[in-house]
Amino acid sequence: SRVALTAGTRSRGALVPAAEPRPCRPIKPRAMVLRRGESFSHGIKVRQGRSKKGATLPRTIRKPEVGKRAGAGASSRGSSAASGSPFPGFARPTPADVVALHRQLAAVFGERRPTQGRSRREILDTVVGTILSQNTTNTNSAAAFANLKTKFKTWDHVRKATPSTVQTAIRCGGLAPKKTKWIQHILKKVHVERGATSLEYLRNESKERVHELLERFPGVGKKTVAIINLFDVGHPDMAVDTHVFRYAEQLGWVPSDKNRAAHNAKVKSAKDKWPVVTRDTAYAHLDAVFPDRLKYSMHLILTDTTGGLPTVCTARDTLSFDGRAVFVNGVPLRQAVRERAEK
């Protein structure tokens, strides 16, 4: 008969190492079952409000601090002056370019609008869900998040739990030790500072202050904070993930290496030189030039892995836009959608 061995036991004189923990058993979380009018992005299920023709900015997304209500007259305005970009003088995209691309994409994938009123999701849910979505698929991160919520009733329980218990719950999302450390550090730090394991106070903070308060935590970058601003707090914030970054590079909406080298060779002052193009500098550029009223819809269309552009234009494909029509690998978008559906 087979004898079970534990760590430290010996079989015929040889030390038998501890067996690797089994990966967490993926369950079928409700978060992965989408209804009509829902999107799936960064491992998070996002409910959408109704899209009405000619509607002004929804209540969930706050009005830009610089100006007038976001309606048709604001469609060509970004969230800040062009000088807010780390690439001053780089002409693409113009707000009109963004409006034109959004019009074409929304005709195929639908315009995305936030629900009216306050988000029902806790901000900590979004923070943890986004951390779990790093370096894995939406399916795996959603399973890890559902396992975590099933195992622990509250975030306070996660804060007090042993790291090994949390790691077991989220293992199917990958990088469990690192993600556990990040998650528990945030929970413990917030509890010490606020006297409660909650980030709901961020709903009363400005867009910039939300970035300042959250980016100090390891594992939380500009993308995660922008998602929280966009989905939960209500600030227009153009989060840039791997999908958005790839599309921006393919569309020429961030400088190429050649563009950057040519620009930096001309300028004399170091402060006028363009930085290396990364997801963070791309975020700063796109957030500065995208119209505020389109940031929510464009982000979800570009990142929704169940009903958005990534279902047709994957990491192996190339996106292009001539100002009137969208193409995937040179094929018109609607044709690419039909061909993908037939496979």
Question: Known catalytic residues?
Answer: 223
Backbone angles phi, psi at 128, to 5 degrees: -65, -45
Q: Which residues contact 285 (CB under 8 A, 6 or more apart)?
A: 85, 86, 87, 90, 253, 254
Q: Which residues contact 197 (CB under 8 A, 6 or more apart)?
A: 124, 154, 155, 156, 159, 187, 190, 191
Per-residue exposure over 109-142, b if at least 16 CB sit within 10 Å of its own CB, e if not: bbbbbbbeeebeeebbbbbbbbbbbbebebbbbb
Beta-bridged to residue 326, according to DSSP, are 321
Q: What is the CA radius of gyration of the chain?
A: 22
CA-nearest of 66, 46, 47, 68 to 57 is 68
Per-residue exposure over 80-90, b if at least 16 CB sit within 10 Å of its own CB, e if not: eebeebbbeeb
CA–CA separation, 250 and 302 (whole Å):
13
Backbone angles phi, psi at 310, to 5 degrees: -60, -20
CA–CA separation, 255 and 275 (whole Å):
10
Backbone angles phi, psi at 326, to 5 degrees: -105, 140
